[in-house]
Structure 1
Amino acid sequence: MREFSVPERIGGFGSLVAVAAAVWPALVDATGVGLPCPLRTVTGVPCPGCGLTTAAVALVRGEFGEAFHANPLIFGLAAFTVAVGPLVALRASGVLRPPRPWSPVGRRRAGWIAGLLAAASWIFQLHRLEPSLPY
């Protein structure tokens, strides 16, 4: 069994998110149970991932503006999801080589990019949701 690359894993996760986003509204309607953000519930401060469930459901429904407004990171996840299918198929058929491990520099760079994306998302969520912070 071959190892999957980080982009392939992210895309695979995105596939699961897409399926969940298609099923989630019916589940919430049937049970009345939602999925609140634990950090926002406890502290009133949104996390960097706040709005991703709403964004995923909106994106599956084709409501792109609402998806962007809820959390723009969903479009990056969707891009990985769309790209991963052909990538895995091409690697499985032998057209493309299996993934190579990332170099330490590449891992460090990816870590910085992920951290910057999380920080940007958090700033976006803080602006969008305007939490009332105790002073």
Structure 2
Amino acid sequence: MVWPAFTGHTGASLPCLLRTLTGVPCPVCGMTTAAVALVRGEAGTAFAANPLIFGLAALALAAVPLVVLRATGVLKPPEPWSPSRRRWAGWLFGLLALASWLFQLHRLGVGWAS
């Protein structure tokens, strides 16, 4: 919520380092734009910039009550994940990153994805 106010007053922004150096967007290109748009209530703009922002926002919102409930002792500490669950999560996050990257390549008209 601070970032939109800061960028609105100063005009400052953070360029994507990979895109600046190579012209190729990274899987999280557009995430800052999407977050700012979501905070401003512009869901369509947020989705167009990077749809992953909705999952990230949901995780951030869910984390707050979990941290509070665990800190107060209402919930027990989390159990470590098994190796198979960690492997499954790794594949899931890898596929999400690949899908996001393909979306960014298409959105920005880079190479064969356009």
The TM-score, its normalising length taken from structure 2, stands at 0.89
Residue number in structure 2 paired with 1:82: 61
Given that residues 18 and 25 in structure 2 are in contact (C-alpha distance below 8 angstroms), is that contact kept between their aligned partners in structure 1? yes
Matched, 1:118 2:97: yes
**Residue correspondence of structure 1 range 1-135 to structure 2 within 5 A:** 22-131=1-110
Aligned-pair distance for 1:31? 3.8
Q: In structure 2, how many angstroms separate the alpha carbons of the residues matched to 1:46 and 1:73?
A: 15
Q: TM-score, normalised by structure 1?
A: 0.76
Q: Which runs of 4+ in 1 moved over 6 A?
A: none
Q: Which runs of 5+ in 2 are unaligned?
A: none
Aligned residues: percent identity?
A: 70
CA–CA distance in structure 2, aligned partners of residues 60 and 98 of structure 1 = 31
Give aligned pairs, total: 112
Distance (Å, rounded) in 2 between the aligned partners of 1:72 and 1:63:
12
RMSD: 1.6
1:41 alignment partner AA: T
Extract unaligned runs of 5+ from structure 1: 1-21
Which structure has the higher relative contact order (CA within 8 Å, separation 6+)? Answer: 1
